[in-house]
Amino acid sequence: MALGIIGKKIGMTQVYTEDGVLLPVTVIEAGPCTVVQAKNEATDGYASVQLGFGERKPQRVSKAYREHCVKAGKGVFRVLKEFRLDGGNDTFSLGQEVVVGSLFKAGDLIDVTGTSKGRGFAGVIKRHGFAGFPASHGTHEYFRHGGAIGNRSYPGRVFKGKRMAGHYGAERVTTMNLEVVEVREEQNLLLVRGAVPGSRGGVVVLRPAVKAIRRSDGGEVAAEQSQ
């Protein structure tokens, strides 16, 4: 896997391209991140880089977490995230700063991972998109129900994974193949076409797309992005 970066979702807005096309974009404050730990195959069995993002009060975390962060010399971080690397990590050192401009540029395709908005306890129509029941022709107090959930003697139980009402949202979601519209290095901002998971202020992780197939808007043949 390639190195990514940690960021914070600011919100959505619109920008115009040079051709005058209006694009919906999500503004993400990506980095700067600090290298908190660098692992290699000789000592750890695999190569990876652990990055820290954001700030937390030292008294709000455990002693072990605090002592681990202060080794980088940049205080205590809000989030720690490890990125596994295909090759070695000889280029990364403890306390090194990783900025968005060194990883992404306009036109790149990325995968964005975040925690979706929590919607509490939801019914089958909102949670799974069920159609519900007719609003007339004898339907009585059974409009937004899911219907039958099983049979009688066989199987005599409800199968695991049956779509029912329950907790909806607040789970890890990855949106793939989002196009980077603009990178503003001086502000550590990344403008991504489309929506990303989570609410404003939520933590997101950005990586180069692993299934990068460029979207064709002008009737062109979709082409794979070089890795």
pLDDT digit string, tens, across residues 92-130 = 888 888 888 888 888 889 999 999 999 999 999 999 999
Distance CA(150)–CA(102), nearest Å, equals 55
Peptide bond between residue 208 and the one before it cis (omega within 30 degrees of 0): no
Q: How confident is the model at residue 41 (pLDDT cuts 50, 70, 90)?
A: confident
Report d(CA 26, CA 60) in Å as an integer: 30
- Amino acid letter, residue 102: S
SS3 call for 44: helix
Residues 6+ apart with CB under 8 A from 113: 172, 173, 174, 175, 197, 204, 205, 206, 207
Residue 214 has pLDDT above 60, yes or no: no
Amino acid at 182: E
- Report pTM: 0.79
Task: Give me the residues paired with residue 204 across strands.
Answer: 7
Question: 10 Å Cβ neighbour count for 144?
Answer: 13
Task: Tell whether the model's pLDDT for residue 90 goes beyond 80.
Answer: no
Res. 160: pLDDT tops 80: yes
Q: Tokens for 116, please give them.
A: 């979706």
Give 10's pLDDT tier (boundaries 50, 70, 90).
very high
Tell me the one-letter amino acid at 81: K
Percent of the chain residues topping a pLDDT of 90: 47
Beta-bridged to residue 213, according to DSSP, are 224
Among residues 163, 135, 136, the alpha carbon closest in space to that of 148 is found at: 163
Domain range summary for the chain, segments of one domain joined by +: 119-168
**Which of 80, 100, 87, 1 shows the shortest CA–CA distance to 35?**
80
- Residue 163: is its pLDDT beyond 90? yes
Percent of the chain with pLDDT over 70: 91
If you average pLDDT over residues 36-55, what whole number do you get?
A: 87
- 82 membership: H or E segment, kind and range: strand 79-84
pLDDT at 77 over 60: yes
Separation of alpha carbons 111 and 43, rounded Å? 30
pLDDT score of 98: 87
Report pLDDT for 45. 85
DSSP annotation of 58 reads: G
| b/e code 60-75 from CB counts within 10 Å (16+ = b) | ebeeeebebbeebebe
